[in-house]
Structure 1
């Protein structure tokens, strides 16, 4: 009887010891192991969606060019196209968009001043030399006295247009105004040119109504104009107006936006710009 009790006692102790060893050696399940959590393992590679506002040409075209590459890097581009120069900035400032790609630095700085926004540049991508166009004349020498000239109504592009007219001998501006000049700053106008200030997007539509129009290249391209062939005169390749990725101070250095800028500054994008736009668009990197 004593032997049976002793045997039972030893058997119980052995079973308890085996159970303890099993618990110590059991591998943690995927759901409880911190090292196997996707969020922990791939936190740096987490996919993000970047909402970008853009003009259709060439900005959205360039964004679509790098879309697949960015997808592979964990950044999904959501591109919203605009036909104006105001809403893309308002929506970035109000955080409806993460960034935009349509404007040059001088325009953004003037917009900040006028609207109280605080947009910043995250990087320069390309230059769009400003040009003059006409459906009525083939040469600047044919521009008649009293001719009507249409220019952008926003301050930075309007001043840019006037500076280009001055460079080509059509007007003279008050000394020192540079690209900040307005029609009121014209001090010499030997042809008595009449100026119409219109929203930039409207300028290609009034070519049949005016004698000359100074048009931003993106809107010229959208109107099927070929700047290097159709413009009577243009800014040169050293134009100090690079088009930028505009963002906010709180996100311009984010990994996603920096990946976007880097993707748009590759040799492949440079080759695409040079081949497709034939000098109408010039890489700024």
Structure 2
């Protein structure tokens, strides 16, 4: 199939893009890398009278470390995020998540901002944003706004962005000290959407007690989710006392609406999701302990 006719616009600045979006309203859609939007248009799953291409706006590309946060601007490609040394040192979960996103061609063209704004249930960067308490920056002709990741994802391909707002950057907090990070997901083939997956971040004190835990879940709801019950079960526990399999079960038990589709039933997804949480938690704990052995 081919996409329905639309008018194509390529502004030179964010201000110009915001003005266009405000003028065209709900008849317009922002186009970044196009790796999710273009297939949907081609299959006529959606249609917009106007596409506003922001991929070549220079101020929307780049990565900055400011005030204990790594700010990834919206049009920054996945591949650049995955290769950036600053990201690897400051927000390892982004580096670990990037290879799971599609294939190399998709990572070269797709953008972090586009992936987060698309709010796909199996989106890796969205799960990382939730686990790390990231903030999403948005702009419109009415001004700027910062949205907590916890308030951003509202449903299947839906976010709390207003129709006239453009996502301009995602700011990921830097976790310092004794930390462990891991990403685990299961798909039929590498590059396919995850049937289920988990990202885990741990912060540990000098007595091996978990002081902070973030768990982001993929493919286990109508939108990316946070595994809050699992987080609460981990915080305050010594690493040696944590039963990863039990944390996986606790995390999935709290989910009331796990989807079922051609990839698997809801009960199957629950089992796989619990296993992914367990594996990611085990890997994050191993990272903390192995780094201690290296520096001993």
Q: Same fold (TM over 0.5)?
A: no
The structure whose residues are more often helix, as a share, is: 1
TM-score (norm 2): 0.22
Larger RCO, structure (CA 8 Å, separation 6 or more): 1
Whose Rg is larger?
1
